[in-house]
Structure 1
Amino acid sequence: MTPLRSVDKFVVTFLVDNCIEWMTKLPPGFTHELRTHLTEHNPPIDPLTGTPFIDLEHYCCGAHGFSALIETQINGESSHYTLFDTGPESLSIARNVAAMHTQTHKIDRVVLSHWHSDHSGGMLSFLRLRAQDVHEHAKHAAPCVVDLHPSRPLARGISSQGNVIARLPPDPTFEQIKAAGGVPETHAEGHAIAGETVWVSGEIPRLTEFEDGLPGGVRWIEQEDGKGGWAEEQHLMDERYAAIDVAGKGLIIFSACSHAGIVNVVRDAVVTFKRPVYMIIGGLHLAGSDLAPRIEPTVDFLANRLRPAPTYVLPMHCSGFAAKIALEAALGEGCVPAGVGHKVEVDGDREAEKTIFPPSIR
């Protein structure tokens, strides 16, 4: 059996995302960044009016990437803190970690969803921040494990009509990760972490006909003679999702970019765990005209073919405006406009667990 223990408490704080959303009404358990600052972070007080300042110099910034701090806890045990992806570069992760008063020394593992720099670019910056935090506040904290797929590309790029138009910045190397204080740990297979409260998948099966990878994806390949060149790479086989099982609620699935297709991701999670899907979080990769035809069948699967339908879908990062509109039309308030700085808390219910039934797919 796949080892994954159900949790009594789940909390996620979004440290990097493309969007900042302050105004929209959120469901119970969701908290806007502004409220967190005003109620938890001791905001500066205006000496003239005696009113707390909205201290915009020290709030989160948006960036094209994704990073989520996941807290999981089973009653009677200590919490586990897992960072899922690190955003695109050194600045946004550093600013937002400071803005959200994140205690980085408590984070004992970073999970990289896949080797793309909008998810790996902040890793070295985060590890250096954590090392400084450990030095100042928790000298005996264990080194931070960095959970990676072993197939790190030399370079990845983007092509259009057969021409490579740009390459992505390089992902951090294993040597750079070690130098920054991390402990690289490679996994091609699915495995449980954080006291077996978080599942990191292995290779995601590609079964859905309309989800056919990343158009224009290319990877640099070196030959034995030392020469190299670009090769088409529509399917990024190093991509992984993460899943948490909340007692009495079901699965919370993190799919940072969904190059494999969010339907493929959800199908694999349902087959693996035989649990209903409570929440889907992250990039659905449905933005842009090339991917627009996938929106309708994706929404149909999530709203109509997956039973029970997910309680919440949080389309973030690379999901795209059109996909968000379609999901809201199908799911109503179940489609949540999440963004950087938001915090989501879900409490388990062991008594309600008795009424949970296995999911089905039509």
Structure 2
Amino acid sequence: MASHGLVEVDSIEIKVIVDNEVDPISPSNNPAVQYTGLFQGQPLDPLPPGHGRGDAKAEIKMENICCGAHGLSLMITTTKGDKKHTMLFDTGPEESAWERNATRIRADMASIEHIHLSHWHRDHSGGILEAVRMINAAKMQPDTNTKPQRVTVDLHPGRPDYRGMVTPTGMIVSLEADPSFDEIENAGGVVQKNDELHTVLDGFFLASGKIPRGTPYEVGIRGGMRFVKDTGAWISDEEIVDERMVICNLKGKGLVVFTGCSHAGVINVCRHAVELGAGLPLYAVVGGFHLADNNPEKLANSLADLKMLQPKVLMPGHCTGYKFKFMIEQAMPAVLAPSFCGTTYTLA
């Protein structure tokens, strides 16, 4: 057992329910990551008798392939011996995107015990109400082996009234409001408010508190703003201090870090994970690195510092940006395994 009660697990399965990109064709170039390409991981439907298609036994329908959306939602199942725990990490930008893809990927929704929201941004919280409703409905089905217990929703207590950004011209653009605590409870979620380090699901997961800022070049989201209803004013909100990562300890490998957007900076995220891991090496980093809109100097600094941490698996998605993925592939061969919507990855 690592520090802070984090339990060593035998394997980690990651179903990507929502991410910006879809690629059911490309196979894995990282030998440490198992996933099927060439459409082999896509759901198949049986063909009816007398279908007139020769020896064909099944059909792949385009309506069964997940669709990309600007956001992130990962269904993470950890296994230790004969025991499993499943967490939903974020819920994507909208209810219809989550419902569509969770259905298409044929996720075992009844197995989801815990929803962790990485931070209050609509592209991560937008599907939470529908996710809660669908998960709880699945738990109530008589053919499930799980107890009909409502899903827990782990949230930072500092929900903003609204978030937005200021453009280079000075115009403030607002995002939609995140679902409220009351709305989540009314949908059937058991709300838990956490801003401190804590373990989840028998110690199979470790959820962070505030991520320390240490690197001089990772200064948050440029132009980030927050609206305060009580004062009627927009204020600077570039650090996104409510963002929290989740860590697993993979047996014989090390720390697997799940990050929503890395607004604290992906290097700050990784270094803090290593600190919490009490000597365990950094093995994998999964999620958004938020480098899509950054300058070449920050990209170069991030890559250099990431290489020094020596991860064996990098699964960038969502807000990482194509430039940084290309840089990883060039500088760290066979480490990259991009996060694609609709794909199931296995780390073991």
Where on the TM-score scale, by shorter chain, does this alignment land: which range?
over 0.9
The answer to whether the 8 Å contact 1:24/1:337 transfers is no
C-alpha distance 10-272 of structure 1, shift in aligned 2 (>3 A): same
Alignment of 1:4 onto 2:17: no
Distance 1:74 1:193 in 2: 15
Displacement after TM superposition at 1:45 (Å): 2.3
What do you get for the CA RMSD once the two structures are aligned?
A: 1.6
Distance 1:32 1:241 in 2: 28
> Where does residue 25 of structure 2 map in the other structure?
23
- SS of the equivalent of 1:196 reads coil
Aligned partner (choices 208, 211, 215) of residue 208 of structure 1: 215
Alignment of 1:249 onto 2:253: yes
The answer to whether the 8 Å contact 2:165/2:174 transfers is yes
Aligned partner (choices 128, 132, 137) of residue 123 of structure 1: 128
Alignment of 1:111 onto 2:116: yes
The more displaced of 55-64 and 129-138 is: 129-138
**Residue pairs, 1:1-362, within 5 angstroms:** 1-26=3-28, 27-28=30-31, 29-32=34-37, 34-37=39-42, 41-45=43-47, 47-49=51-53, 50-51=55-56, 52-76=58-82, 78-137=83-142, 138=144, 140-161=147-168, 163-223=170-230, 227-273=231-277, 274-288=279-293, 290-303=294-307, 305-306=308-309, 309-347=310-348
Alignment length, in residue pairs?
336
The answer to whether the 8 Å contact 2:35/2:41 transfers is no
Return 5+ residue gaps in structure 2 as ranges.
none
- SS of the equivalent of 2:25 reads coil
Letter in 1 for 2:12: F
C-alpha distance 222-169 of structure 1, shift in aligned 2 (>3 A): closer
Distance 2:36 2:112 in 1: 21
Distance 1:152 1:200 in 2: 17
- SS of the equivalent of 2:141 reads helix
Distance 2:9 2:295 in 1: 35
Displacement after TM superposition at 1:122 (Å): 0.4
Displacement after TM superposition at 1:92 (Å): 1.1
Letter in 2 for 1:132: A
The one-character-per-residue Cα deviations of 1:303-339 (angstroms, maximum 9, x if unpaired) are: 2x22xx1111111000001111111111112112220
The answer to whether the 8 Å contact 2:299/2:324 transfers is yes
Distance 1:107 1:179 in 2: 19
Letter in 2 for 1:155: Y
The answer to whether the 8 Å contact 2:9/2:79 transfers is yes
Displacement after TM superposition at 1:272 (Å): 1.3
The one-character-per-residue Cα deviations of 1:139-174 (angstroms, maximum 9, x if unpaired) are: 842110000000000000011136244211111111
TM-score in terms of structure 2 length: 0.92
Letter in 2 for 1:179: N
